Structure 1
């Protein structure tokens, strides 16, 4: 590693898999992925640690694997955050421009931003991101109001927060490997950063990341994050419904989902059957293919409907010109794009990572962890890499990103 480069990692501790990427950053902005570690997740449910020892074993195995393949030790990591404990709210403030000639100063900007971010959280909650919306000067949107003339300056922040204890659990899992967590990055922002272009964010676009245990989403409008959210509903729910509806074990239901599940029903012949195990062993039996598709399609539509309900009035199809982008392991389900098109009334497609992503990392399960790098590098470019944290300061977990 040269003196002008540094090694840093991206970690996602998911319900199904732990994924670690090691990247070499040169001259502050150029990234090369030099190591990958993937391990089956243990001790994690719906993005939350429920068995500390098991979660540590799985995560440390993935970290060790990634470092070994990179031939380098990590200095620090960016850690993805997801889970049903996450929540968010919008808060805005306004100030009168103080100068006699109505020219906006840096002091005016600092004042209005501080006011918009000052709303206190309930006890036991910690901020993860403070995402700034565009400034408004006398009612008109402006990217940078300094030195402009106006009387009233306004700004709003979408403030994402989570359970202090659950965030701490994730940090301690990584800390057990003697690594510092440099930043927490919301999984939805990571996926959105990777899979959307500046033009798509300006047109308006919805990104939905459907994993095994949780579904993360982010809605962009006019180039900025409008709403983010996380649902404790994802691919596992399709598996559970198949298990109950077809009276099979969870492992058998998972195999049926992967082999024959669909986001929409395609089979028209009710007599069309598939083998449960397919090995001809004792106990193997045939199941109606239409039943598998009907169950998986119904749960897929329900999941997407819940996302739309959670978006509420923020989702306006006319303001979402770039459509819907689907990613995450469950996004590989055939027919899921058609299901999303029906629910949202917009063109839906699977997310395509940018050209710099190597072929072996183009699987949708890597979207969040790859996006952590892209998101982090953009923040580093805009704000300079943050100073190292002092340990134990949970109230200071986050840097303040003016995310675009």
Structure 2
């Protein structure tokens, strides 16, 4: 007799909230059965500024998704982004305790505890402890138990965030009467969709250029070794155009989508475009050169920031598989060439897997699809604790452990 569970994947974005509904059958297969969307409100750069407005928008998307699925969601997998997120690498290193050098469960537990044991400042909370490479006497091993050696090392990339901001997102979901089963960093969810296993083993960087933020995740040797968030996204391109060309936000967005580019072409030097396009009173010509100069300057800044955050990890040697770009910003003309120039490595546009139905293959669905991927694969083993208002520690979601 088959058993199924209905789960929801929720991404609360700056301009749009997306909810996908998946049916997990016997813990082994996933059917995407519903979708809901709503215009976001009260959210900026991944952070909730107006709790009521954000709740209303999110709840509308959830209700739309349940109606589309014809089913009631049992638990939520929630994406998390925002400049409040940070991470660091930490290593748990222990001497094998037995006289014969055989690694025991106790040795593994001690190394694991040390790798995750760094204390955070007040007001910060762990979201993920992502296990990296395990080594025994300096050689990489997949499972050290009962192997012989003297020194066991387990590396982790630990991601933490502002406790209040994390709790705000969880409370938005709880306010609809739903539990948050897991919270996943947006870049990690996206990376699971658009980067292949071969690319992850070779070394690849995934950039998710959203409206308010750009999230990135670095893979090396098949492991997530770095993550980051830059508070620059597609909306900044639009705002720059509005200010630089002295036009309203709506027309700036339209110009960006229809005529914008991150790279100056030969014909762009002399071409002019209509500001509105209806050629009515008030419409006027704008030099395309000025339009592209504004966009390309912001792109250059974005890739420069990411390159600086990556340091030595941003090189041809560290990234043989290059950069994979997704998110709404990936649809900007010339973005691949701009990324390749700015970061000094090859770049390409990310694509969702072919098994995904055609209407969900757009880059705006990469993150919620990745959330459903984690719901299916069950890579959630360790408890994530958030301090409630009454000071009681409760398990709210679980964490990725590998």
SS in 2 for 1:399: strand
SS in 2 for 1:319: coil
Superposed displacement of residue 323, structure 1: 1.2
1:174 equivalent in structure 2: 173
Which string of whole-angstrom CA distances, capped at 9 and with x for unpartnered residues, describes residues 355-380 of structure 1? 111111111111111111113322x1
Please state if 1:70 is matched with 2:63.
Answer: no
Contact kept in structure 1, 2:313 and 2:319, CA below 8 Å: no
Gaps (5+ residues) in structure 1?
none
Contact kept in structure 1, 2:182 and 2:399, CA below 8 Å: no
SS in 2 for 1:68: helix
1:319 equivalent in structure 2: 318
Contact kept in structure 1, 2:381 and 2:398, CA below 8 Å: no
1:145 equivalent in structure 2: 144
Structure-2 change in CA distance of 1:398 and 1:127 (3 Å): farther
2:19 equivalent in structure 1: 20
Contact kept in structure 2, 1:226 and 1:314, CA below 8 Å: no
- Counterpart CA distance in 2 for 1:123 and 1:385 is 21
Which string of whole-angstrom CA distances, capped at 9 and with x for unpartnered residues, describes residues 289-325 of structure 1? 1211121122112111111111112333212111110
TM-score (norm 2): 0.95
- Counterpart CA distance in 2 for 1:346 and 1:93 is 32
1:187 equivalent in structure 2: 186
1:302 equivalent in structure 2: 301
1:89 equivalent in structure 2: 88
- Counterpart CA distance in 2 for 1:227 and 1:374 is 20
Tell which deviates more after alignment, 145-154 or 385-394: 385-394
- Counterpart CA distance in 2 for 1:388 and 1:5 is 27
- Counterpart CA distance in 1 for 2:374 and 2:15 is 23
- Counterpart CA distance in 1 for 2:384 and 2:138 is 36
- 5 Å matches for 1:215-226? 215-226=214-225
Contact kept in structure 1, 2:125 and 2:386, CA below 8 Å: no
Tell which deviates more after alignment, 392-401 or 362-371: 392-401
SS in 1 for 2:255: helix
Superposed displacement of residue 89, structure 1: 1.2
Superposed displacement of residue 213, structure 1: 0.2
Contact kept in structure 1, 2:2 and 2:25, CA below 8 Å: no
- Counterpart CA distance in 1 for 2:331 and 2:208 is 11
SS in 1 for 2:398: coil
Structure-2 change in CA distance of 1:394 and 1:327 (3 Å): farther
Tell which deviates more after alignment, 263-272 or 286-295: 263-272
1:40 equivalent in structure 2: 39
Structure-2 change in CA distance of 1:289 and 1:394 (3 Å): farther
Superposed displacement of residue 386, structure 1: 8.2
Gaps (5+ residues) in structure 2?
none
- Counterpart CA distance in 2 for 1:33 and 1:221 is 30
SS in 1 for 2:20: strand
Contact kept in structure 2, 1:194 and 1:375, CA below 8 Å: no
Superposed displacement of residue 401, structure 1: 2.1
Which string of whole-angstrom CA distances, capped at 9 and with x for unpartnered residues, describes residues 153-196 of structure 1? 01121110001100111111111111111110000100111111
Contact kept in structure 1, 2:5 and 2:25, CA below 8 Å: yes
Total equivalences in the alignment: 400
- Counterpart CA distance in 2 for 1:389 and 1:231 is 24
Contact kept in structure 2, 1:94 and 1:152, CA below 8 Å: yes
2:400 equivalent in structure 1: 401
Superposed displacement of residue 345, structure 1: 2.1
Which string of whole-angstrom CA distances, capped at 9 and with x for unpartnered residues, describes residues 197-244 of structure 1? 221110011000000001100010111011001111111111111111
Contact kept in structure 2, 1:263 and 1:296, CA below 8 Å: yes
Structure-2 change in CA distance of 1:269 and 1:85 (3 Å): closer
How large is the Cα RMSD of the aligned pairs? 2.0
2:250 equivalent in structure 1: 251
Contact kept in structure 1, 2:385 and 2:394, CA below 8 Å: no
Contact kept in structure 2, 1:126 and 1:394, CA below 8 Å: no
2:57 equivalent in structure 1: 58
Superposed displacement of residue 3, structure 1: 4.8
TM-score (norm 1): 0.95
Superposed displacement of residue 134, structure 1: 0.9
Superposed displacement of residue 398, structure 1: 4.5
